[in-house]
Amino acid sequence: MDKCSFCGRSRKDVEILIEGVSGHICNDCIEQASNIIKEETTSVKGLKTLNLKKPSEIKAFLDNYVIGQDDAKKFLSVAVYNHYKRLQQKNTHDDVEIEKSNIIMVGRTGTGKTLLAKTIAKLLDVPFTIVDATVLTEAGYVGEDIESLLTRLLQVADYNVKSAERGIVFIDELDKIARKGDNPSITRDVSGEGVQQGLLKLLEGAIVNVPPQGGRKHPDQKMIQVDTKDILFICGGAFDGIERKIANRLNTRAVGYGALSKTAQINKENLLQYIAPQDLKSFGLIPEIIGRLPVLTYLNPLDKDALKRILVEPKNALVKQYTKLFKIDGIKLTFNDDALDYIVETAIKFNLGARGLRSICETVMTDAMFELPEKNVKSFSVDKKYVEEKISNYSHKMAEIN
């Protein structure tokens, strides 16, 4: 009589019994074996098994998902490569200790800061979470404790502490916790400078007690200890108005002989490319936190050509997404070139960046997605006239609301 070679149960006692060369195994034993392998490989998996690519390979991967921003991609690729290379060398007996290189990205909204961080995490296959700095407050005040951002990383890593300790945390809207002036505050700035002070130990590396379910800490709550020294922190922010700080600094330097020629070489349309740590200090970041974010990079504003490429070229481009959605209903969707141009011009007009392309496309396509699935339509073409009509209707509705 056939029975499982592991648990001994017969064929009638199990759902599936698979026959091998000299034995059998049931579905329950297969599931248990799979869980054991998963646990063992997770607990003993060394950092050398990390899918670490060379900087040029990382950038090439980013190119598939993010249009332009070559400088930011290079900075990110090198910083991420060095960080995880550093983790692989931890057990070597050497007097030279490589320090962690956290990253700060400055760029207008919708230029791709979050997308870059997400894509890096996808490539490396490490736990990744996005946290919003605006909800963080100093301990003891209404809002979220600074340690709560690690709770989200733990949740993504299924509470596997070792896995979480080599993850990536993207702190968005870092500029919103800048202190209100360039001078140190005499009073408590609970959602600004106070949060920056609290972030210092996380960025540099410390063993932090993290509430497993998030929320406020209380004495009876069981804490999980997380060491942050190997967690890569990527910070991003629009830093609206920092161009004025950069312009002031550049003008003060343009004195003496040759000052005129130096000023003429400055691209006033994109001052972010000249950003320096002292500009972040003038904006309101404390020197200690700037020192713990040694890799500073910027993202270029998106022009018409870049926005149009974003619509059609990346692997997850919006046009490709809508085409796939309609294809499921048996409809061939096409976008005319002039229609894409008008969508891009609208995004530029409202200064929405790449993020605004989605909302504009939803406005244009909602009626078609509502009506066409029940009609016997094999193809649908979106032209400029159709886009103008839909955007015009939307603009009129918004005007009436306002």
The C-alpha atoms of residue 119 and residue 381 are separated, in whole angstroms, by 31
Q: Which residues pair with 382 in a beta bridge?
A: 335
More confident residue, 213 or 6: 6
Residue 251 is predicted with a pLDDT of 79
Question: What does DSSP say about strands 332-335 and 379-382: parallel, antiparallel, or unpaired?
Answer: parallel
Residue 352: partners with Cβ closer than 8 Å, 6 or more residues away: 110, 359, 360
Asked whether the predicted pLDDT for residue 371 surpasses 60, the reply is yes
Residue 221 has pLDDT above 90, yes or no: no
Q: How confident is the model at residue 47 (pLDDT cuts 50, 70, 90)?
A: very low
Quick one: DSSP state of residue 272? G
Asked which of 113-127, 240-254, 261-275, 367-381 is least confident by mean pLDDT, the reply is 261-275
| pLDDT-above-70 percentage for the chain | 82
Domain residue spans in the chain? 11-44, 48-298, 304-401
What would the pLDDT profile of 58-72 be if each residue is shown by its tens digit?
Answer: 999 999 999 889 999
Strands (E), 228-330: 232-237, 295-298
Report pLDDT for 92. Answer: 60
Could you tell me the pLDDT band of residue 195, with boundaries at 50, 70 and 90? Answer: confident
- Per-residue b/e over 149-170, b at no fewer than 16 CB within 10 Å? bbbbbbebbeeeeebbbbbbbb
Q: Say which range, 49-58, 194-203, 336-345, has the weakest mean pLDDT.
A: 49-58
Query: What CATH fold (topology level) applies to the domain 48-298?
Result: Rossmann fold (3.40.50)
Decide if pLDDT at 1 tops 70.
no
The dihedral built from the CA positions of residue 207, 213, 218 and 219, taken in this order, carries a sign that is negative
Tell me the HSE value of 90 on the side-chain side, using a 13 A CA sphere: 11
Residue 394's pLDDT is: 62
Q: What is the DSSP string of 194-232?
A: HHHHHHHHHHH--EEEE-TT-S---TTSPPEEEE-TTPE
Q: Which fold has domain 304-401?
A: Helicase, Ruva Protein; domain 3 (1.10.8)
Confidence of residue 186 (pLDDT cuts 50, 70, 90): very low
pLDDT of residue 236: 92
Cβ-based neighbours of 301, under 8 Å, separated by 6 or more: 107, 108, 111, 269, 270, 272
Model pLDDT, residue 90: 65
Instruction: Say what percent of the chain tops pLDDT 90.
Output: 36
From 227, 49, 102, 100, select the one nearest 154 (Cα to Cα).
Answer: 227
Q: How far is CA 46 from the centre of its chain?
A: 25
Mean residue pLDDT of the chain comes to 83
Per-residue pLDDT band at 223 (split at 50, 70, 90): confident
pTM for this entry: 0.74
